[in-house]
Structure 1
Amino acid sequence: MAPHLWSCFTRKGSNRGDGIAERRVSTADVASESSRGGGGQGAVVVEMFSSQGCATSPEAELVLSRLGRGDFELEVPVVVLIFHVDYWDYVGWKDPFGLSQWTVRQKAYVEALGLDTIFTPQVVVQGKAHCIGNDENALIETITNAPRFPAPTLQATFTKPAPDSLQVSLTGALRTKVDSSGANVMVALYESGLVTDCPRGENKGRILSNDYVVRKLEKLCTVKDISHKKTVSGTVNFPLWEGFNSTKCGLAVFVQNSSHQIFGSQNFQLPEDI
């Protein structure tokens, strides 16, 4: 039995004629809750660190799925991203979505937030505050009290240069000033509608459902000393996994500074025919 404390611890398309599929998504086509924020304010980024090897994570995953669907009817729009860590793999079940990269990301938050332990399911909101993922009241309060920033006005072009590769080009304004400390514009590719039969470990015998699972995370660019109107652009390349289905995937773009705080985000659904 794993130790527990709190939870678990320790469009329109074009044919280019060169065999490359390309689809462009404009800000008018963005399936983004960000555009619904009052006064031009964008969505709040809600990250959860989870594991199929943690007994209390499945319930938290359901809460976050409901959050992403809008079941809580919050006035604050959200972008939900779930990172599966790998430090529970030793318990008896290796999480098929767990990556050491996400464990490193969570540890950076633990340090930035001044915490003395790492646990699942942990929710981090706007990179600034945290709570337990299966505590609905704390989750809603943390989201409601989170700082909000203008949503970027990025346009996205999706290209598949090969069957197992997705290229995303983004250009537009961040709509938030970035000072001399600088910030990174990050792009996350996530997948929903995942179902796993778990025959071993803490969740033995359960059918696990997972949404908003981050499969890839890349840096679009680093910005410094720019105004809110300054146009930024860049391209990221994602190697695709077996069984990739664009209709189950989405793309989240967010701006994060060196203190790990997030200020500005935008969410895209992938074109169905990419």
Structure 2
Amino acid sequence: MSTPRFRKWPISLIVLLLGNMAYAGQTFQHQGTPPQLIELYTSEGCSSCPPADRYLSSLVDSPKLWKRIIPMAFHVDYWDYIGWKDRFAHPSYKQRQYDYRAFGKLKSVYTPGWVVDGKEWRGFFQGRSLPSMPQRSGDKLTAELDQGNLDIHFEKNGFGSQLTAHVALIGFDQQSSVTAGENRGKTLSHQFVVLNKQQKTSTGSQWLFEIPESDISKKTALAIWITKPDMQVLQATAGWID
């Protein structure tokens, strides 16, 4: 029996090729009422965060996923000092919370903290359902992903000011065995983890991003959204990366 040629290739090259194939020829698009962005600010060093993480994770099975809701977990780093460094945390995620507060959309910065449709949501702590999404118009947003390059186009009718395009690479089925801090001895499971977040501001209607490679053994998704200078979402789209 002959041996397929690719088996003679270096393993690193095969992984690289598979990674690039996963980012080839895919379109993300939405028009009309924007999907609802559900943002959870969390930390593996926070003992009150696991219940919020589990609630967010339950949305994986929602029929509304990607079409009407886009959940994301931003891990912050301001609890790292108590003994456990959250490997998913990034300073820019903490800054995002502070930016929301600067625009009057958050009363304070804390975890677990929820921002839904650009506004602070405390209903989680009273066991309430997510707020309903207001119906509003939204222009067409299209993003083409090819070989790791993401080309975004937004038909920004009526918006003359600078707009910001945001892109988040979202990871699933992530686990951490915590050995220090408030969650010491626990194994934490996460869905909708923001693994990488980028943004660019422009007066135009087109943006280009380079999407970093991810672990091809786990599910990943991509979220793209456009905001005004005050962080108000004008349009968004998201979906699984094939």
Fold conserved between structures, TM > 0.5: yes
TM-score, normalization by structure 2: 0.79
1:84-233 paired onto structure 2 within 5 Å: 84-113=75-104, 115-127=106-118, 129-132=119-122, 134-135=124-125, 137-138=127-128, 140-141=130-131, 144-146=132-134, 148-150=136-138, 152-159=140-147, 167-172=148-153, 174-220=154-200, 222-223=202-203, 232-233=205-206
CA change 1:126–1:178 in 2 (3 A) is: farther
Whichever residue aligns with residue 58 of structure 2, its letter is R
Q: Which amino acid aligns with 1:150?
A: G
2: CA distance, partners of 1:192 / 1:138: 25
How far, CA to CA, are the matches of 2:217 and 2:146 in structure 1?
11
Task: Rate the CA distance shift 1:133–1:216 in 2: closer, same or farther, 3 A.
Answer: farther
- CA–CA distance in structure 2, aligned partners of residues 123 and 147 of structure 1: 21
Distance between the aligned counterparts of 2:201 and 2:229, measured in 1?
14
Change (3 A) 1:86 1:130: same
RMSD of the TM alignment (CA)?
A: 2.8
Give 1:236's match in structure 2, choosing from 202, 209, 232: 209
TM-score (norm 1): 0.71
How big is the shift at 1:61?
0.8
Of residues 247-256 and 114-123 in structure 1, the stretch that sits farther from structure 2 once superposed is 114-123
1:23 maps to 2:28: no
Task: Indicate conservation of the 8 Å contact 1:246/1:270, yes or no.
Answer: no
Q: Which residue of 2 aligns with 1:47?
A: 39
Give unmatched runs, 5+ long, in structure 2.
1-16
CA distance in structure 2 between the partners assigned to 1:223 and 1:125 by the alignment: 26
Give the C-alpha shift of residue 259 in structure 1: 0.7
Alpha-carbon distance in structure 1 between the residues aligned to 2:133 and 2:34:
14
Shift of 1:67: 2.5
The count of corresponding residues between Structure 1 and Structure 2 is: 222
Matches for 1:1-80 after TM superposition, within 5 Å:
21=21, 23-27=24-28, 40-70=32-62, 77-80=68-71
Question: Going by fraction, where is strand more abundant, 1 or 2?
Answer: 1
Identical residues among aligned pairs (%):
24
The runs of 5 or more residues in structure 1 that have no matched partner are: 1-16, 160-166, 225-231
Deviation at 1:138, TM superposition (A): 4.2
Are the counterparts in 1 of residues 105 and 120 from structure 2 also a CA contact under 8 Å? Answer: no
